[in-house]
């Protein structure tokens, strides 16, 4: 399975579109959002937005795996994988692991932009924990992407992924703080997976332990998206 993970990571990192959209865009958006206009608690916003954008970038990278899987499916590659001794479970797991790994550059790039360009100052342990949490917390979104990829065509995967991303980013408070929204939207937002994901990072920046709420919420979404991925995979195994 290790060889499969390596193969998939290699393929992902050679994808220029992936690198630009998944890594370049979040960095660019972060720098724009924090340096154009803006007022009030300037430094606080720079740190908060850094977490939000890193989370957003992680989401983009994680979910883009769906497009890859859908196109592999249409190329007959998934069928070819079924006739080598890899095994279906390891094929899916390998894909999930490679997905999580390719999230890392995005997270690191946005955090670097925060530290080097925007002068965000955190303790060393905070940086380390931030990277780890944003990295591991991306797993539910990998599973969502995988579920979409196995279920849908390449074109519809792209559309569905985009819709999910926009929804998550806005409602989960990745682009703008939830407080900026009307109250009802804010309370809906707290139930989205992206909000829980970003909360992990925000509490780290605030040097607090994350509260139980977001952790439980993210865990619940992990289970939901995991079930979705498995169901989609089973369905595709009958037709692939």
Partner 1 sequence: MCPCRPARTLRNVIGMTRTTGKRAAESQEPAGRATSTQAAGCPGADSTPPGPAVVFTAAVKTFGTPGGTVRAVDGIDLTVGRGETVALLGRNGAGKSTTIGLLLGLDTPDSGTVRLLGRDPESAVRAGLVGAMLQEGRPIPRVTVRELVRFVASTYPRPLPVAEALALAGVSAYADRRVDKLSGGQTQRVRFAVALAGDPELIMLDEPTAALDVEARRAFWESMRSYTRRGNTVLFSTHYLEEADGNADRIVVLDRGRIVADGSGEAIRHAAAERSAAAGGQVSVDLPDGGAKGLELLPGVLGVEVRGGRALLRTEDPDATVVALARLGAVRGIEVGRVTLEDAFLSLTSPPPSPPLSPSPSPDERAGHPKETV
Interface contacts to partner 1, rule CB under 8 A: 3-4, 6-7, 10-11, 14-15, 71-72, 75-77, 79-80, 82-87
In angstroms, give the least distance from the CB of 228 to partner 1. Answer: 24
Note the helical H segments in 76-118. Answer: 77-82, 88-112
Calculate ∠ Cα 105-17-88, nearest 5°. Answer: 75
In angstroms, give the least distance from the CB of 158 to partner 1. Answer: 15
Residue 113 has what DSSP assignment?
A: I
Write the burial class of residue 61 (CB in 10 Å: 0-12 exposed, 13-18 middle, 19+ buried): buried
Q: Which is nearer to partner 1, 38 or 76 (CB)?
A: 76
Q: Which is nearer to partner 1, 11 or 126 (CB)?
A: 11
Nearest to 202 by CA among 44, 87, 26, 71: 44
In the numeric block, which tokens belong to residue 76?
């007959």
In angstroms, give the least distance from the CB of 93 to partner 1. Answer: 14
In angstroms, give the least distance from the CB of 9 to partner 1. Answer: 11
Q: Which is nearer to partner 1, 38 or 87 (CB)?
A: 87
Rounded Cα–Cα distance for residues 20 and 26 (Å): 9
């Amino acid at each position: 399975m290790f060889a499969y993970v390596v193969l998939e990571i290699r393929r992902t990192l050679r994808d220029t579109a992936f690198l630009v959209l998944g890594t370049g865009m979040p960095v660019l958006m972060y720098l724009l959002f924090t340096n154009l206009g803006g007022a009030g608690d300037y430094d606080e916003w720079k740190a908060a937005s850094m977490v939000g954008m890193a989370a957003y970038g992680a989401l983009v990278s994680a979910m883009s795996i769906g497009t890859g899987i859908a196109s592999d499916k249409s190329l007959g590659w998934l069928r070819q994988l079924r006739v080598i001794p890899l095994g279906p479970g390891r094929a899916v797991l390998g894909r999930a692991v490679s997905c999580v790994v390719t999230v890392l550059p995005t997270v690191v790039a946005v955090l670097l932009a925060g530290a080097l360009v925007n002068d965000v100052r955190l303790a060393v342990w905070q940086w380390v924990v931030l990277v780890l949490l944003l990295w591991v917390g991306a797993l539910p979104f990998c599973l969502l992407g995988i579920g979409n990829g196995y279920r849908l065509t390449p074109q519809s995967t792209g559309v569905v992924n985009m819709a999910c991303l926009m929804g998550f980013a806005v409602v989960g408070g990745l682009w703008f703080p939830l407080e900026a929204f009307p109250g009802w939207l804010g309370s809906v937002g707290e139930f989205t997976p992206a909000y829980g994901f970003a909360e992990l990072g925000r509490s780290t920046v605030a040097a607090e332990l994350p509260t139980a709420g977001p952790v439980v919420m993210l865990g619940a979404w992990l289970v939901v998206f995991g079930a979705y991925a498995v169901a989609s995979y089973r369905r595709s195994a009958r037709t692939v």
